[in-house]
Amino acid sequence: MNGYWRTSLAGFSKDDAVFGPWLEMQSWGTIPEAEFQKRRDEYLSRLSGELDAIGRTPDKLHALRGEPPKWNPFIVDALLEQKPNSLSDAAAVYGKVFADQQRLWLQSLLESSSEAAPGGTVLPDDHPQHQVINSASHRQIRHHLYAPGSPFDVSDEDAVRLTNRTISDLASGKKGAMHQLNLSSPGSPPRAMIVQEDPNPRATHIFLRGNPLARGAVVQAKFLSALPGDHTQIYEDGRRRLGLARSVIADSNPLTARVLVNWAWQNHFGVGLVRTPDDFGTRGQAPTHPELLDYLADQFRKNGWSMKWLHRQIMLSQAYRQGAIENEDSRQVDPENQLLWRMPRRRLDFEAMRDSMLAACDELDVTMGGRPVDLNASPAVPRRSVYGFVNRDIIANLMSTFDSANPNACTARRPETTVPQQALFALNSDFIQDRALRLASITKQINAASDEDRIVAMVRRTLCRDPTESEVGQAKKFLDDNIATATTTDGAAADPERGWILLAHALMASNEFTFLD
């Protein structure tokens, strides 16, 4: 803290009305106490004489529209009264003056505000009771107490750093609570994180052998010179991100379009035309259809980098419109389905699976924008999963169970695992059981003419197709068996609707619901 004050006071001169006496005494250096006392008395006597010359009457020192005196009378009088024998003693005198002025200021504010209360008497500005607020001498002290750049103007970060561990931990906890309030309170304003470039960035050095203490030559901001092509253009300060973006999509760089096309293809077919999406180099696998990749990449750029155009082209293709139908002859020739003789069967991503369950029950909220939501909340928040809050430090168990991407790293392709926890979620999770209850309730409200019609409606909502006669018969048998065997805790027959809830649960937990054919 002493270092902070020394740095702050270095900006003042000996002519300052408040800190001038301090800087004068500080300039004497380390001298004997007797010498310090002699200089102190001579110096303070001179300052007091200058104040006496202008008059120490209230109309001179505390006039409403008066000019502040050359030397602050509160500082001078306190030093004359206390007679400090060292710089340390002078610091204590200054501390007491500032503390007294803070107390007087707060007390005067309270008294003046009470004048506006019912029954209060409003006093004129030049009334003696308002002297502390209007006095030029008092304002001199308050300027150093509250003005920006004064030694008392300590930022929140510096204040926490300069306090002891207990106060620091308490302040950090309060700051975290306020941050969470700003994030979660319904009344907090909407906000988004942005990146703002420094218009005058510092020089960037090469770290020799990766050592930040061994700095080499200064490097300019431009595209990777290790890559082929002319990369001599230096990016403009404050617009480096824009320059990098333009280099990434430049005509001389065909890799970006290929990566984007491969990414879109991978999301539609489960695997990309290049099956190592995070390595397009010589060590990665070659494209299974290089001409197709180049054609789509070229047309993608010619159509304004439109992802909508790219998705439409892929989804209107004959390859995409195939079914996941097995063929023994094709399997013998191409066991890995590189030639796309069938549509690969793949599991829905966690986000798509969750949204599909909500959509099947007419619960999905497709409102655009808004705050992030807790995907583990109970009852479930029916927002699209793309608005789910992701904690980079603590990944939710549900998301990791279904192979969600690691938010701390670039994930070109999500892993695909089959673990018992996935089946346990389908059987026991409150989320899927609540959706089953909702689905049973919706199909009951349509007042179907028969159980067969209600079964058809339920299958259409979940599997997006009509059930076969065999499936309708199996569903009816499932309902009849449930009604015949299920009882309540007291032995009475169970509610018939319980069977429909279980049927809805079975449909949403089925492989056909979870997998794309």
Residue with tokens 């068996």: 481
8 A C-beta contact, residue 416 and residue 401: no
Q: What is the spatial distance between Cα 410 and Cα 400, in angstroms, rounded to a whole number?
A: 16
Question: How confident is the model at residue 400, as a pLDDT?
Answer: 81
d(CA 182, CA 167): 23
Largest CA distance in the chain: 114
274-281's contacts with Cβ under 8 Å and 24+ in sequence apart are 277/412, 277/413, 278/410, 278/412, 278/413, 280/255
Residue 255 has pLDDT above 70, yes or no: yes
Distance between CA atoms of residues 183 and 371, nearest Å: 8
* Res 192 pLDDT > 70: yes
116-124 own/partner pairs: CB under 8 Å, 24+ apart: none
* pLDDT surpasses 80 at 120: no
pLDDT at site 484 = 67
Banded pLDDT at 3 (limits 50, 70, 90): low
Sign for the CA dihedral angle at 114, 116, 119, 122 comes to positive
Residues 295/251, Cβ–Cβ less than 8 Å: no
CB 385 within 8 A of CB 375: yes
Give me the percent of the chain exceeding a pLDDT of 70. Answer: 95
Residue 393 pLDDT: 80
pLDDT value of position 153: 76
Please return the burial class of 90, using the count of CB atoms within 10 Å of its CB with bins 0-12, 13-18 and 19+: buried
Concatenating the DSSP letter of every residue in 190-228 gives P--------SSPPPEEEEGGG-TTSEEEEE-S-S-TTSS
Residue 438 near residue 358 (C-beta atoms within 8 A): no
412 CB-contact burial (10 Å; exposed 0-12 / middle 13-18 / buried 19+): middle
pLDDT in tens, 20-67: 898 888 888 888 989 999 998 998 999 888 888 877 777 667 766 667
Please, what is the Cα angle at 194 between 191 and 196, to 5 degrees? Answer: 140
Confidence of residue 427 (pLDDT cuts 50, 70, 90): confident
Task: Count Cβ atoms within 10 A of the Cβ of residue 209 and give its class: 0-12 exposed, 13-18 middle, 19 or more buried.
Answer: exposed
Q: Select from 99, 104, 94, 92 the least CA-distant residue to 138.
A: 104
Contact 327, 337 (CB under 8 A): no
Q: pLDDT tens digits, residue range 289-346?
A: 999 999 999 999 999 999 999 999 999 999 999 998 999 999 999 999 999 999 998 8
CA gap 55, 402 in Å, rounded: 83
User: What are the tens digits of pLDDT across the range 225-251?
Assistant: 887 777 788 999 989 999 999 999 988
C-alpha dist (Å) from residue 52 to 10, 20, 37: 29, 18, 22
High-pLDDT (> 90) share of the chain, %: 36
